[in-house]
Amino acid sequence: MKNIPKIILASKSPRRQELLRLMDMEFEVVLKEVDESYPDGLTPQEVAVYIARKKAEAFDKTVGDDEVVLTADTIVCVDGKILGKPETPAHAIEMLQTLSGKVHQVITGVCLLHKQRYNNFFDVSEVFFRKLSDQEIRSYVAEYNPLDKAGSYGIQERIGLIGIERINGSYTNVVGLPTEKLYAQLINLNK
């Protein structure tokens, strides 16, 4: 798109990359190691935006005026508790058992760094999981190895297809990038 600067995607997530491709966005993936810790006392929305901005700050001195750095962080929150990425398959099983039969929130914080300005925003989607059997959970974890996913699942994978009854909000937000909000922000960058 001619009004949108060159996008530097600071994410190794294949799901975010695929979403940008589906939006017909040209981008380059550039990765930098960033500590994803955050201070106590933040709301889940603030945590997602804080980490996304922290990722963008790693590019502060290297981004050109004709580029925009896109960073994001997706978290899953259930019963007021943030679930990160699982550390082991057993931890993934435990997380999915926690989500089973409940409603949880998926929050994606996004930061766009363009011309030394940070544009932060977030989106929240509610996800309704039916009660999953232990066999369904164990089978999913064994076959899909969801250790790189917040909350231990991908909505676009089998567990999402068989276990999610409905969502309120953006589907792409649950995948990992609220494309509707992102597009609106990108086309207004130079205004």
List residues bridging with 108 in a β-sheet. Answer: 74, 123
73 is catalytic: yes
| Residue in 35, 60, 73, 123 annotated catalytic | 73
- Report d(CA 130, CA 103) in Å as an integer: 9
Annotated catalytic residues are 73
